Amino acid sequence: MKNSNLELVMENFDWEKVHKVMTFLNWRWCRYPEPDGVPEIDEMKELVIALVKDAQSELDQYNPSSSGSGGFSVTINRGNSGYLYHSISFELEKSGYL
């Protein structure tokens, strides 16, 4: 039995749509030692997995836990049964107070 929905969330995320938006906006990532540029889909997925690991490392202290970078935000919520619910978003604009 799986203990998270991460695989399903990664499969259902529209990576191509985000890549089109990033290309249209010329949304560049700093990628030392590589030249800056719009990330490829594989790079986006690698970043999201790194964000998941970052959020999971804080899950015992904070539930839900989140992490973000490069326009992406990942949130993990541990349910009462221990099942981990993941969400991925790509944000262009955000405002508000905590």
**pLDDT attached to residue 1:** 38
**pLDDT attached to residue 2:** 67
CA atoms of 39 and 89, how far apart (whole Å)? 16
CA atoms of 52 and 69, how far apart (whole Å)? 11
Cis bond before residue 35 (omega within 30° of 0): no
Collect all residues with Cβ–Cβ distance below 8 Å to 74 and sequence separation of at least 6: 48, 51, 52, 54, 55, 66, 67, 68, 86, 87, 88
CA atoms of 87 and 6, how far apart (whole Å)? 8
pLDDT per residue of the chain (98 residues) written in tens, 0 to 9: 368 999 999 999 999 999 999 999 999 998 777 778 999 999 999 999 999 999 999 998 999 999 999 999 999 999 989 899 999 999 988 888 76
- Rounded to the nearest 10 degrees, the angle between the axes of helix 15-25 and helix 41-57 is 110
**pLDDT attached to residue 98:** 61
Query: 3-state DSSP call for residue 5?
Result: coil
